[in-house]
Every structure is written in C-alpha cells, then in structure tokens.
Amino acid sequence: MNDHSPGEGAPGYRARAGWTREQAAGLERTGETTAPVFYPPETDQMPHLHIWDTWFLRERDGTLAEVDGYRVCFSLTAPAELLPGKRHDVATIRAFYSADGREWQDAGPVFSEALGQRQWAGSALYDDGDVYLFYTAAGTDGAEELTYSQRIVAASGGRVDTTDGFELRGPWTHHELLSPDGERYEREDQSRAMIYTFRDPWFFEDPETGETWLLFEANSPVPEGSDLFDGDAGKQEFNGSVGIAHSPTGDPLAWELEAPLLDAVGVNQELERPHVVYRDGLYYLFISSHLHTFGPELSGYDALYGFVAEELHGEYVPLNGSGLVATNPPNAPFQAYSWMAFPHDGEVLVQNFFNYFDFAGETLDEIAHLPESEQRRRFGGTLGPTLRLDVSGTRTEIVGKLGHWEIPMAGESLGPTERELLARAHADD
Ligand code: FRU
C-alpha cells in the first residue's frame, strides 16, 4: 500500500493512491506491452486535416453511442498544411460519423464560437438525444498572445439530425465548469513545470453506485517545505495527477471538485486523458504519457499506462507491475499517442492517433528541427490502427490490431487475433 498522507505539519495534498518512483523504475518494454510497427494507411480518410486526440460519443453508461445507425467521434483537428508541431495552437474540435465503423465522414467543426483561444481534448455524452461536449478551453479569451491557461468547459444544446444525412447542430451554450483551486489542484501561477495541466475532462457514471463523475488531467501542488519537495533533484516539477469532480445530482453541468484519484508526484508531469474501463467488477484507470515528462532518473516511454482498483476511489495498483500497458516499438518510439481504451466483445480496444513514423533515431525535439517538408512527410496525423488488449486482473497483453480508424459497431464480434491465427497455423504444422 502506498502511504500518501503528507508528513506531519507538511503542507501539500496527496491523492489516496499514487504511482511511485519505485513502481515506475520498473518500466520496460515487454512482448505484452509493445505495439507492432504501424504503416501509414493506404488511403488517408481526411487528407485535408491533421487529426490527433479523439473521443467517442458515449451514453451515460459509457457504451459507445449509435445514433440512427451512426457512430460519432470528435477529434482535435488542424489544417493539414500546418506544421504538425503548430497544431496545438489552433486546435479545433470536429465531429466525424460512420455507418460501419470503418469509413468516416467529416461533419465539420462542431462550434462556430467556443471558450478559449483554442480547444483541447475532452469527452462527449449522448443523454437521451441531448449532446454534451466536454472540452478544455485553452488560452485566455481575447488575449493577443497565445497563452496556456486551461479551464474545463462543457457545451450543451447539441442535437443530431439524420433526416438528410448527418448533422450535429446547436445552438450550443458553453459553461465554464472547473478551474484549479490551488490546494488540491495546482494553478498556473504555482507551477514550476514546462506546462501545467488542468484539462481533458472525461465523463464517467459508476456502474456500481450510479454516481456521476468527471475525471481530468491535473497537477498536485508541492509547496516548499512539504516532504515531497526535493529542491536539488527537482522532483516537485513532476507532479501529475488524475483529478476528479462529482455531480451529486447527475447534472452534466454542475460539478464539485474532489481530491485527486491518483497522483504521480516525483514520477511524471502529465497524466493525460484519464479514463476508466469497468470490467469484471474492477476499475481500470488509463492515462497517456510521454517519455519526456518522467521525473529525474526515471525513463519511460510515450505510452498508455494503467492502474486497477476494486473501487473507483480505490487503492490503484499499476498494471503489469510498472503501469506500462501499450507502448510503441523501439524503432518507432513516437508512432502513436493519446490512447483511449473502451470495452468491446470481451476485449478492451484501444484507439490512438498515428503520430510520427519513419524514424532515424531522432527525439521529438529533433524532428521539430528537420526541414519542414520532412516534418510533414513523417507525421501521420490520422487515427492509428486500433489495438486489441486482453485484460485480466492486474495483467494486460496486446493481442492484435484492427485497421486505422476501425471502431467496430455494437454487437460486432471480432475475428481471431493474430496470436490465435499463429497458434492455429502452428497446430496445423
Ligand atoms: C494529449 C494532449 C491533451 C491535450 C491535447 C492538446 O495529446 O496533450 O492533453 O488536450 O493534447 O493538443
């Protein structure tokens, strides 16, 4: 068990569960946690766009919605002409829809006006015909310079109309839901890190209690004098957490901040896009994180990490010992990012976006300094192949993959995995 209570008299607020430096020191690629190498899709479904963080329209109980036979997803997007590294500065949320979970159509930008200078990731709720879009308002409205402030926002008023094709329309009303309190959640002016985080809201109804929650990416304040402050090594600069807020009435627009579910002080600065998959009576909490956001003397990967507990507010333990669930192969370490897991047909599927490919051993920073044409050529900017994950207790294993953008429809059964086909071939030998 992790002892996360602050030392006596020491300021600082800790989550009930933590990702410890000891656990993270065990991070190592294994056959179970390393994705195969991806190649660019034969046809880019959205050649006019860079596409990255993506989420699905889901029902209150977390099921992927099918509205009049359409799957609906939302992505952060930018014009494909833009340099890939600049996309975060202009991110716009668009909707896409598909009648078969394979071919997707662009329904256009969701909002004509939204809060923030640009919009970062979120989640979407389909509640009895009403669409709520949770997102991050990044940047200060009206400021001339680009700023990095982050607020958690929801837009209400969306409806899907399929009388003549597919249309998602408002009028939308934007509601500011949450901002950091400075005590449990670090504010921008308290941050010592490269970029603080308070973003990526994700709606979750607990199937055991029926209670309604909003998870998000945040940081835990580590004031000077707290026992976690380590001036020399600078561990306090790596203070990622998974935040949570509660809606006592279930109203998707009324939330109260609660103490974080999990933190990673001294371990990692960014626990991105937290989300939960409930399975076999257990809560699987997943986050994405980067190689470059690990604390001193730790080395991790651009990867999906996960934890499991018996209750939503439980004592989370890292999956596979270290927390590593799905990472990129060593010769393509940045090929995918921003993984999102969801249950399907007894497995857990993981969608992600196809990031940079065709490596010659560069770091992300070095890629950003390559000639512009080369940066563009090597950027996927589309959805990657969906991974198939076998999950059992505290262990997970990547057992195969589907196509780029492939999100099976409800009730569709998955074919045999690559592993099963291989086993059959050997049995026939
Ligand atoms: C993850 C992420 C999110 C954020 C978005 C900004 O890929 O960093 O946390 O919402 O990208 O582009």
Q: What is the 429 CA–ligand 1 centroid distance (Å)?
A: 47
Backbone φ and ψ of 334, nearest 5°:
-120, 30
Q: Is 61 a catalytic residue?
A: no
CATH second-level architecture of 33-428? 5 Propeller (2.115)
Listed in sequence order, the residues at least 6 apart from 340 whose beta carbon sits closer than 8 Å to its beta carbon are 54, 55, 273, 275, 286, 350, 351, 352
ipTM topping 0.85: yes
State residue 260's pLDDT score.
96
* Known catalytic membership, residue 53: yes
The protein residue with its alpha carbon nearest to ligand 1, atom 6, reads 120
DSSP character at residue 268: B
Give me the residue spans of the domains in the chain.
Answer: 33-428
Give 168: exposed, middle or buried? Use CB within 10 Å, 0-12, 13-18, 19+.
Answer: buried
- What does pLDDT average to in each consecutive run of 10 residues of the chain (429 residues)? 41 75 97 96 95 98 97 98 93 97 98 97 98 98 95 98 96 98 94 90 98 97 83 86 98 97 95 97 98 95 98 96 97 96 96 93 89 93 97 97 96 89 85
CB neighbourhood size of 103 (10 A) = 11
Q: How far apart are CA 30 and CA 386, in angstroms?
A: 19
Q: What integer pLDDT is reported at residue 5 of this predicted model?
A: 45
Residue in 66, 186, 200, 272 annotated catalytic: 272
**Ligand 1, residues 273, 339, 352: which to mutate, most atoms within 8 A of Cβ?**
273
Verify whether ligand 1 is closer than 6 Å to residue 76 (CB atom): yes
Residue 13: what pLDDT? 62
CB 215 within 8 A of CB 242: yes
pLDDT of res. 111: 98
Task: Out of 49, 51, 54, 76, give the residue to mutate to test ligand 1, the one with the largest number of ligand atoms within 8 Å of its CB.
Answer: 76
pLDDT of residue 12: 56
Q: Considering only CA atoms, which of 62, 24, 53 is closest in space to residue 283?
A: 62
pLDDT at 227: 76
Residue 419: per-residue pLDDT: 78
Residue 302 Cβ inside 6 Å of ligand 1? The answer reads no
Helices (H), 305-389: 364-367, 372-377
